[in-house]
Amino acid sequence: MADASTNGDHRDRNPIVIGLLLLLTGLLLNYLFERHNIFKVWENSVYPISWADIFYPPACVFLCLTGFALVLGGVMRRPTIRQLRPYVLAVAIPLTILHTLFTFGMQFVATGADRLGECPGLDQAASSSNVIPESKQRPGHPAVGCALERRGMFLSYYNDVIVLGVTDAAAQERVVAAVAENFRQAHTHPVQVVFFERENWATRQLKNGANFGTSRGPNKLIRIVNIG
């Protein structure tokens, strides 16, 4: 009789334990991939944002929702995960799809513009290193730019600082140190500093000698440094 009671309690605890593990796993993976990625998935890519940034938020959301549903089912005294499986999938899959659609929508609506007002200070800090060459697109200004981005399943804000034409490692460290100092003093959102090999802008010249428009050509990603 005691053994049956013990086995019943063990089955009751299984959904809660497994649910908590899934929930913690989803949160941990989101933390690692969002800005503190120890595997450096996107740093080895030719683009600042890699395939991982597309797939990991839905995966983390699904793990967290599945874990939450299992914990909730265990608290409601559902004895086994097999009995909970249909309810878990009915909750986790639709909500994950909705979250994914919402995330893609927010990437188009709420990124790019400096809605936080932190970019001017970051631009100035990077420029104060005095190692960034003059911009071809904006003569008289350093080849640096800043935009607001969002990442991860919580759509966390971070500032994306683009530096063009700084290839020397020591010079890059001067830029990173200046931006990091501004991050600490101004208490900005996390910053991602992206170094490209050069400012690759092409200008079309008309027959009369006038220049007509510019366009960005292919560029080589050198380094990405995450601050914060």
* Model confidence, pTM: 0.69
Looking at per-residue confidence, does 182 or 138 come out higher? 182
The pLDDT tens digits for 68-85 are: 988 888 887 766 777 788
The pLDDT tens digits for 184-227 are: 999 999 998 989 888 776 555 555 554 444 445 556 788 888 88
User: Is 1 strand, coil or helix?
Assistant: coil
**Is the pLDDT at 65 greater than 90, yes or no?**
yes
Specify burial of residue 7 (Cβ count, 10 A radius: 0-12, 13-18, 19+): exposed
What percent of the chain lies above the pLDDT cut of 90?
32
Q: Which two tokens stand for residue 58?
A: 């839905």
pLDDT score recorded for residue 185: 93
Q: What residues does 210 pair with on adjacent strands?
A: none
